[in-house]
Amino acid sequence: MKFLDEAKVWVKAGDGGDGVVAFRREKYIEFGGPDGGNGGRGGDILVEAVDGLNTLIDYRYAQHFKARKGGNGAGSDRTGAASEDVVLKVPVGTQILDEDKETLLADLDAVGRRVVIAHGGDGGHGNAHFKTSTNRAPRRADKGYPGEERWIWLRLKLIADAGLVGLPNAGKSTFLAAASAARPKIADYPFTTLHPQLGVVRLNASEEFVLADIPGLIEGAHEGVGLGDRFLGHVERCAVLLHLVDGSQPDPVQAWRTVREELAMYGHGLADKPEVLVLNKLDAMTPQAKASRLKALERAAGRPVLLCSGATGEGVPAVLRALGDIVAVAREERAKQPPAPPPVIPRAAPSGRAVVRPLAAAEDDAGLDDEEA
């Protein structure tokens, strides 16, 4: 299945049903009168986060969604049927943005969260609604109100506890394969990973977390160089970043600085997240190169640096334990926070108004017999 993390769709809620003008006139009934019913409500458009989806590919080829109109009213003061809602199912972590692609409308970050993105129109009133003691035979009925319509953007940000960052060919896919059951593509050339990959890391029977691997960053990624920084959104929700530096290259300090600068230019708090710095490809370094490069990287970063080899598995358990400890603390802090209130979508500007539909003055109420005028 192709990975798609962004889609633009058009939604249109159902219009309200029309009210009707009808009069009651039955044999042996002394008093007749207006009994036109109201129209039914149009269907809403909802977006719901469900389990089991990890891509927006369903909205690549189906981009228009429209709910049905509410039923029209009828005589005998019968209200039209309300239309069913249309529910768009999206992966957990999907954000809904307005047409400008900047205004965040809702963030569906948990299974079962749903939001009404377009409200259906209310049904119009029938002439029975306008009956008063001074207006006993109203000939007025309203058309249903139009439903909301809008263009929205769906943007997926994968839910992961830890994120892998680094230059291309730093060994991120190899590390993900060594730490989890994921089987990403691995090759000896840059940009092997073209789409984000997820893997579940199990430390023991009771501890596990999700690790996300994104395509490598290069200098100028924030300006669109290489694959750009469009996939960095998938590690925005991570509690910790695992920064892998290729230890087989002669200048690991410059490689670390390049990625850090790209994270800072991207913003969204990525540069401020906790970072576990790892010098990878331990099996490809001599003891002298390992010592010198480790010392230089620790001096530049100002904190301890771990060593590992994704190919042989050496040092991988220690790295995973360091990630697991930070993830556990972040989960405890998140559990203490109050639940987020349900998202409220501002209503779109209506495209029209209910229309008053008077009957011709020459029509006689006695000539109408439970029918719509």
Q: Is 192 annotated as a binding residue?
A: yes
342 is annotated as contributing to ligand binding: no
Please, which residues bridge with residue 74 across strands? Answer: 78
Q: Tell whether residue 281 is among the known ligand binding residues.
A: yes
The reply to whether 338 sits in an annotated binding site is no
How far apart are the C-alpha atoms of 362 and 200, rounded to whole Å? 76
Q: Is 173 annotated as a binding residue?
A: yes
How far apart (Å, rounded) are the C-alpha atoms in residues 370 and 373?
A: 9
216 is in an annotated binding site: yes
Contacts of residue 357, Cβ cutoff 8 Å, sequence gap at least 6: 18, 21, 140, 141, 142, 143
Retrieve residue 157's tokens: 């940000």
171 annotated as ligand-binding: yes
43 annotated among ligand-binding-site residues: no
Cα–Cα distance for residue pair 231/224, rounded to 1 Å? 11
**193 labelled binding-site residue:** yes
Known binder of ligand: residue 280?
Answer: yes
Q: Is 283 annotated as a binding residue?
A: yes
The verdict on whether residue 282 carries a ligand-binding annotation is yes
Known binding residue 174? Answer is no
Quote the CA–CA distance of 225 and 229 in Å, as a whole number: 9
**Is 191 annotated as contributing to ligand binding?**
yes
Distance, in Å, from the CA atom of 74 to the CA atom of 5, rounded to the nearest integer, reads: 46
Who contacts 335 (Cβ-Cβ below 8 Å, separation ≥6)?
Answer: none
Contacts for 9 with CB less than 8 Å, ≥ 6 apart: 59, 63, 64, 65, 88, 151, 152, 154
Buried b (16+ CB within 10 A) or exposed e, 74-89: bbebbbbebbebbebe
The annotation status of 117 as a binding-site residue, yes or no, is no
27 annotated ligand binder = no
Q: Which residues contact 130 (CB under 8 A, 6 or more apart)?
A: 34, 138, 140
Is 96 annotated as contributing to ligand binding? no
Residues annotated within the binding site for GTP are 166-173, 191-195, 213-216, 280-283, 309-311
Residues annotated within the binding site are 166-173, 191-195, 213-216, 280-283, 309-311
Residues annotated within the binding site for Mg(2+) are 173, 193
